[in-house]
Amino acid sequence: MKKILFLILMQSFLLSCKIDNKGRLNVTDSPKKLAKLEGLLLLAQDSIIDTYDLSNDSIRLFPDLSKYKIKSLNLSYNLLDTFIVGFLPQKLEKLNLSHNQIHGDLTIGENSMPNLKELDVSYNKLESLDILESLFRIIASYNDLTDIQFKHGNIYYLDISYNIHLSNHVGFYPAEIDTIIREGVADGKPLVSPLDFWSTIVIE
C-alpha cells in the first residue's frame, strides 16, 4: 500500500516538472506573472518609452506615472473612475482611456499636457469635456456628455457619437473641424456653434 502511495505521489511530482533541452529537471510551478502596471513601476523612472500598454490590467486607482516619459499610453479596459491629469507621463502624445468608468467632468488645462495630440475617452460616463490643449484627434463617443468645450487649434477629427444627452447647440465650431462623427446625437439636427446661435438671434 505504501509503495502504491509513493508511486502516485511521484507521478504527480513528475507531471509538475519538465526536462529542458540539456536534460535538466525544472519545476514548472513558476511565480505569478507580474501585472502590467507592476512591470512598469519596476523600470527606472528616467526611462524613455515609446509605447506602453496597460489595457485589461484591472487598474482601479489612477496610477501616478508623472515621473515617466511615455509617448503613447493605453489604459483602456480597466476600472478607472477618475482622471488625474497631474499623474500622466511626461511627453505624452497619445492617451487611450476608453472602456473605463470615468464619470463627471474631464478637464485638461492649458499647458498641462503640451505634447498631447490624441485622446480617446470613449465608452465612459463623462458628462462634460473641457480641453484647452490643441489636440489633433478626440474620440468621446458613448458617454453621457451634455457639454463640450475645447481649443480648436489643430483639431481635424472629433467623434461625439452616441452621446444621447448632447444638444445640437454645442460649445465648439463644427465648421473648423475636418471630420465630425456624430451618429445618435440630437436626432441628426445640424450642429450649431455659439457664433451661429447669436447670429440667429441678432437677425431675428
pLDDT band of 79, cuts 50, 70, 90: very high
Q: Does 7 have pLDDT greater than 70?
A: no
Q: What are phi and psi of 3, to 5 degrees?
A: -65, -40
Judge if 103 and 198 occupy the same domain: yes
Q: Does 6 have pLDDT greater than 90?
A: no
Judge if 26 and 42 occupy the same domain: no
Would you state the pLDDT for residue 26?
38
Judge if 126 and 163 occupy the same domain: yes
Judge if 6 and 101 occupy the same domain: no
Name the DSSP letter for residue 98. Answer: -
CA distances to 1, 6, 12, 83, 129 from 132, rounded to whole Å, are: 78, 71, 62, 16, 10
Range of the domain at 21: 1-30
CATH code of the domain in which 175 resides: 3.80.10.10
Judge if 83 and 177 occupy the same domain: yes
Judge if 48 and 105 occupy the same domain: yes
pLDDT band of 194, cuts 50, 70, 90: confident
Q: Does 65 have pLDDT greater than 70?
A: yes
Judge if 168 and 188 occupy the same domain: yes
* Number of domains the chain contains: 2
Q: What are phi and psi of 93, to 5 degrees?
A: -110, -30
Which stretches of the chain are DSSP H helices? Answer: 2-15, 36-41, 194-203
Q: Which three cell numbers stand for residue 23?
A: 536534460
Would you state the pLDDT for residue 170?
93
For residue 96, give every residue at least 6 positions away whose Cβ sits within 8 Å of its Cβ, in sequence order, or none. 55, 73, 74, 75, 76, 120
Model pLDDT for residues 22-54, shown as the tens digit of each residue: 444 333 343 456 799 999 999 998 889 999 999
Judge if 3 and 40 occupy the same domain: no
Judge if 13 and 42 occupy the same domain: no
Model pLDDT for residues 84-99, shown as the tens digit of each residue: 999 999 999 999 999 9
Judge if 15 and 60 occupy the same domain: no
CB-count exposure of residue 184 (10 Å: 0-12, 13-18, 19+): middle
Q: Is 114 left (phi over 0), alpha (psi -120 to 50) or beta?
A: alpha
Q: Does 200 have pLDDT greater than 80?
A: no
Judge if 49 and 23 occupy the same domain: no
Greater pLDDT, 200 or 140: 140
Judge if 25 and 102 occupy the same domain: no
Model pLDDT for residues 119-161, shown as the tens digit of each residue: 999 999 999 999 999 899 999 999 999 999 988 778 999 999 9
**CB atoms inside a 10 Å sphere around CB 126:** 25
Greater pLDDT, 8 or 91: 91
Interatomic CA distance for residues 46 and 64, integer angstroms: 14
Would you state the pLDDT for residue 12?
43
Beta bridge partners of 106: 129
